[in-house]
Amino acid sequence: MIKNALIAFAVAFVAGVGLGFLEGLSGSSSETTFIIPVVVGVLVFFILQMRSGNRKEVRVAATDRHSSLNAVAPAGKALLYVYREGFMGKMVGWNVSLDGTALAQLRSPRFTQTTLSPGSHTLAVSLGGLAGTQNKPAETTFEAQSGEVIVMAMKSKMGALSNTLFFVREADVPAALQKLSKIPMVAAEQSAVIAAA
């Protein structure tokens, strides 16, 4: 928080000096010399705080992403794809966990993929940093069958005081995979095979 405050202060200071210099050249003076830098500083601080829960992401190369989208579930396993898209809060990472273990953090648009054992699994999403206080976490339980390909979309619904996160299981898997072929892939944080819950 202190680091973000210092960065915001530096940005506001530079903006103030720049505006002061420009007004000095024009020979006029106004209240905007003070107001604009303060607004810019507050905005920068807010954006940095919203992103404070973000972790470094590991992108998957385009060729590996292509292979992942054309993959067939290994014998006795299922494939799970989780993705996020949309403009709202796109730079804020959403923390996805599978059966209580971190799977990936997804900004928008991004997706990840993992292999599952058949059985019941629980997928959850939450946010860290300041964004976590403004979004209700969500979880869903689903069944995975051997050889099945499952695609889960992460969504949010805006509310008056906070947003609600939720999952939607895609019914049309080929269409969903086609959509994923156009967005970056993030490597899963956990091992590829998840035991059945």
* Structural domain spans, the chain: 2-50, 62-194
Q: What pLDDT does residue 103 have?
A: 94
When pLDDT is averaged across residues 123-141 and rounded to a whole number, the result is 76
pLDDT of residue 4: 54
Q: Compare 81 and 158 and report the one with higher pLDDT.
A: 81
What burial class does residue 135 get, using C-beta atoms within 10 Å of its C-beta: 0-12 exposed, 13-18 middle, 19+ buried?
Answer: buried
Distance CA 110, CA 175 (A): 16
Report whether pLDDT(29) > 50.
yes
pLDDT, averaged across the chain: 81
- For domain 62-194, give its CATH number from 2.60.40.1120, 3.40.50.12780, 2.40.50.140, 2.40.160.20: 2.60.40.1120
Global pTM reads 0.71
